[in-house]
Amino acid sequence: MNSFKKYPKLSLLFIIRTLLIFVLIYSNFNFRSSINNEVDKISLLKKGDTDLSKHYYFSELIEIKEEINSNIDYLLYIQLIIIALLFLIKKKTDKENKKLDEIES
């Protein structure tokens, strides 16, 4: 606790970094489960009624494909943004550590 009071900027950067890692893990889990749900819909649609009109069947497949593609895009964008933010935080942390080393010596 003493280090949090002594180095507030470093503490804040550490907390933000930890939260970003949790957001990355949560978003991966969330979007992957959503993609799995859409894949399950495809298998249910294939096992379902054969009396479905082809138009309805293909329109459902197109909607599912679009949903999967958008989830993959979101997953990719979130990962790229969070990794960029983590690098930025690392850069700021290194800069702050160097500044504190100069002050202490």
The full set of domain ranges for the chain reads 2-104
- Rounded distance between C-alpha atoms, residue 54 and residue 77, angstroms: 34
pLDDT at 84: 96
For 49-90, the pLDDT digits (tens) are 656 677 777 888 889 899 999 999 999 999 999 999 999 999
What are the tens digits of pLDDT across the range 8-17? 888 899 999 9
Min mean pLDDT across 3-12, 24-33, 69-78, 90-99 is at 3-12
Report in angstroms the alpha-carbon separations of 51 from 12, 22, 38, 55, 97. Answer: 60, 46, 22, 11, 68
Tell me what percent of the residues of the chain surpass a pLDDT of 70: 92
Q: pTM of this prediction? A: 0.76
